[in-house]
Structure 1
């Protein structure tokens, strides 16, 4: 059967995976400054994934209000042992390294249990003899290395001093370690090279958990010599064995638009692992195996080959769909699904999307396709200057676009805005008569387009702006930006508390998968 890569599209990086029982797979990814934190997904076939919740949903678990953009929660690892799920991660803006537990992956998860050593990317390994190891990155840059120590899994207390077990392959940022015991051999999987163009996964092995480790003399996963390949920056992997004894890797990668601009961020991919005769796992070392369309005889289930992806939220439930994200925190008093049945009611606070460490009234989801449409029906009749509500596409506080209804100098207008390198400019505006208006943001391989339609009228254009300005390449590169763009609805009083509620009747998303071009590209690589 054929399946699409990525298996989870949009800004869902640093995947970690476990299998429970016969065919229940669970996967978590990083979430950085967004709340709830650490989304968790379920699948029965490794291909079709559904988000079932988030791990960190309470203030007692995480406080992201002081998190910078691309700060917050880094690189989780998910493990399962003796009836309990464990998620270990790093809150770089607060708690540091910690883990939480649950007997049901949907939650509730425990409050954090802190651990004493390491920098980022901690991982847990439950050994056959009952010992539990933390394997974690330490140091920085070319001095980055991997340390390991034993803990009491009930308390998080260290039972041994940390030992350096790997310095990687000589590249910078040896990180994302996972220790496995496979057929009696300990395998140490790491990422190296930074999370950009030289990203790669490397592997070592030993008869003992602390080594010494023998390193394979080449990466087991990288596209760092394939600059023209549509999938770039692959690495940061985790392994899982399916019910038939086949091994798979989940890992991050990017799909730069026009081979230039990374808009969607780092996404979650899947590829088979093959084992060499002398016992090394291999995935794709600059061979082009990882592609947009994959084919396998080792998986069954519903094919993910679909031209169009459609997602709708009619706001007809009592609570927000669990896939929505807030920026740093949720101020409960500003969100309501009960004030007007079938509508989402938002009240704007003083914070705006340009405010550093701001907590605006804003819900969003990662953009999943470079060519897409994101639209809503908004009812909003602002009474005070500065009151504003609409749609946004956000990378961070210095890079975002909006189309919104706004009160300006006593007039109600629909306005398109662009914030580039922290500087906000108006693209276009038009007076409107009605308090109900449809808004839309569209994207292609060049630009974001802004459109609106008053009741009974056709869509009208309200300008455009290049997608390049929301890319990681124009905003500090992979060393400065770890997220992708998110699409959402928002309202703000622009420095003051808003008095006028904004009502959103629905939100629709339509994305295009370019199946034909992906298949053609795969044939070209093979040829």
Structure 2
């Protein structure tokens, strides 16, 4: 049976997975500067996933107010032991390495328990004898290596001094360690090569938890010699066994648009593991077997293949769906689903999308498809110059596009803008008089398009912008940009508090399965 990769599309990197019971799988991914932090997903079959919440939902757990873009929460590891879930991660902008616990994966999760040693990418391993090991990256660049020590799982206190156990295959950034015990053998799985084109997963094994480790002489997962493959930068993996005794790997990868520009960031992929006779797990070492259409004879459930992916939110509930992010912090007074039933109210603050380390009034979700449309109905009556509310597609403070209602020189306008490398320019505008306006951002494999319409009127295009400007390649590369594009709703006074709130009646997202895209027409998504 075939399934579609990535199994969790859009900006969902560094996946870590556990199985609980016979067939309940849970998975977490990195969230960086977005809050709530560390989204958690559930699946019964490994290919159809639903986000059920986030791990860190309180400022007592994580404070991202000073987190720069691509800062914040890195590389979580999820583990389950004796009725308790454990999530361990690194807040590179504050707390450092810590873990939290929960009896229910939907939460509530505990406040952080700090651990003393290591740089990034900590992992937990519960051994048969009751010992609990932290395995974590240390050092930097080509000096990067893996250290390990035992902790008291109730307090985080180190019970042993850290020991260097693995130095990788000679490449830079040996990181993302996961220690497993499988059939009596300890396996150490690591990422190596940085997050770009040399990214790979390597593995070693030993009869003892501290080694010495015998390393397989080749990566078990990489596309670093397949420059024309549609999936690139694969690595940073985690293993899980299903109820039938089959093993699977989840890992990150990218899908550069037209083999040039990575827009969606690093996404979560799935592939079956094949074991050699001498006990090595293999996935895809430049063989090209990990594809967007992936074949697996042992698939647990129904395929996830669809032509179009549609999500609607009518804001009729008292809480937002868990897939929505805020930028760094949620300022509670700026958001309401109850003030006006069936509408989301946003109160614009002084910060805007360009404010460095800012906390603008902004809710967003990862863009999951290159060919997509995201639209809304907004009611907004600004009464002072600078008040603005609408849609934004954001990579960082210095790279984002908007279409919005804004008051300029006493006029109410629909205006589209682009911010590229920190410089903001107007794409186009149109004077309007109605209070209820539909706004749309759509994209194909070349551009973003910005349109508006009166509530029951025809759509009018007011401009476009090349999507390459929001790609990782144009914004510091994979060593500088760790996120992907997010798209959402915002309001701002551009330096002052808004006097008038903005109300959003609904949002509608439709994305196209990229395997069905040959001659792309964004207009087809509107039908």
- Whether the 8 Å contact between 2:370 and 2:514 is mirrored in structure 1 is no
Deviation at 1:296, TM superposition (A): 1.6
SS in 1 for 2:451: strand
Matched, 1:286 2:286: yes
Partner of 2:197: 197
Partner of 2:152: 152
- List per-residue Cα deviations over 1:56-93 (Å, max 9, x = no partner): 00011000000000000000000000000000000000
- Whether the 8 Å contact between 1:15 and 1:252 is mirrored in structure 2 is yes
Partner of 1:83: 83
Partner of 1:61: 61
Task: Give unmatched runs, 5+ long, in structure 2.
Answer: 519-527
Cα distance between partner residues in 1 of 2:514 and 2:145: 40
SS in 2 for 1:511: strand
Deviates more, 1:132-141 or 1:509-518: 509-518
Partner of 1:461: 461
Cα distance between partner residues in 1 of 2:309 and 2:130: 45
Partner of 2:96: 96
Cα distance between partner residues in 1 of 2:44 and 2:109: 22
Matched, 1:329 2:329: yes
Cα distance between partner residues in 1 of 2:514 and 2:99: 39
Cα distance between partner residues in 1 of 2:100 and 2:337: 30
- Whether the 8 Å contact between 2:377 and 2:455 is mirrored in structure 1 is no
Partner of 1:368: 368
Partner of 2:403: 403
Cα distance between partner residues in 2 of 1:277 and 1:338: 60
Cα distance between partner residues in 2 of 1:196 and 1:15: 17
Deviation at 1:319, TM superposition (A): 1.1
Partner of 2:236: 236
Partner of 1:138: 138
- Whether the 8 Å contact between 2:98 and 2:113 is mirrored in structure 1 is yes
Matched, 1:127 2:89: no
Partner of 1:484: 484
Partner of 2:310: 310
Deviates more, 1:293-302 or 1:324-333: 293-302
- Whether the 8 Å contact between 2:348 and 2:491 is mirrored in structure 1 is yes
Deviation at 1:339, TM superposition (A): 1.0
Partner of 2:182: 182
Cα distance between partner residues in 1 of 2:275 and 2:301: 24
Deviation at 1:342, TM superposition (A): 0.2
Partner of 1:248: 248
Deviation at 1:514, TM superposition (A): 2.9
Deviation at 1:456, TM superposition (A): 3.1
Partner of 1:521: none
Cα distance between partner residues in 1 of 2:40 and 2:451: 34
Matched, 1:116 2:112: no
Partner of 2:512: 512
Partner of 1:495: 495
Equivalent residue pairs, number: 518
- List per-residue Cα deviations over 1:348-382 (Å, max 9, x = no partner): 00000000100000000000000000000000010
Cα distance between partner residues in 1 of 2:506 and 2:251: 33
Cα distance between partner residues in 2 of 1:164 and 1:438: 58
Deviation at 1:409, TM superposition (A): 0.5
- Whether the 8 Å contact between 2:64 and 2:93 is mirrored in structure 1 is yes
SS in 2 for 1:468: helix
Task: Give unmatched runs, 5+ long, in structure 1.
Answer: 519-527
- Whether the 8 Å contact between 1:305 and 1:515 is mirrored in structure 2 is no
Deviates more, 1:509-518 or 1:189-198: 509-518
Partner of 2:438: 438
Cα distance between partner residues in 2 of 1:251 and 1:422: 32
Cα distance between partner residues in 2 of 1:134 and 1:120: 12
Cα distance between partner residues in 1 of 2:121 and 2:450: 39
RMSD over aligned CA atoms reads: 0.8
Deviation at 1:457, TM superposition (A): 2.0
Q: Which runs of 4+ in 1 moved over 6 A?
A: none
SS in 1 for 2:479: helix
Cα distance between partner residues in 2 of 1:514 and 1:26: 26
- Whether the 8 Å contact between 1:201 and 1:222 is mirrored in structure 2 is yes
Partner of 1:525: none
Partner of 1:17: 17
- List per-residue Cα deviations over 1:201-233 (Å, max 9, x = no partner): 000000000000000000000000000000000
Cα distance between partner residues in 1 of 2:112 and 2:6: 31
- List per-residue Cα deviations over 1:391-447 (Å, max 9, x = no partner): 000000000000000000000000000000001111111100101100000100000
Partner of 1:263: 263
Deviation at 1:515, TM superposition (A): 3.2
SS in 1 for 2:478: helix
- TM-score (norm. length: structure 1): 0.98
Partner of 2:379: 379
- Whether the 8 Å contact between 1:306 and 1:515 is mirrored in structure 2 is no
Deviation at 1:303, TM superposition (A): 1.3
Partner of 1:522: none
- Whether the 8 Å contact between 1:394 and 1:401 is mirrored in structure 2 is yes
- List per-residue Cα deviations over 1:299-329 (Å, max 9, x = no partner): 1322111010000000000111111000000
Partner of 1:523: none
SS in 1 for 2:154: coil
- List per-residue Cα deviations over 1:506-525 (Å, max 9, x = no partner): 0000000033469xxxxxxx
Cα distance between partner residues in 2 of 1:260 and 1:422: 22
Partner of 2:452: 452
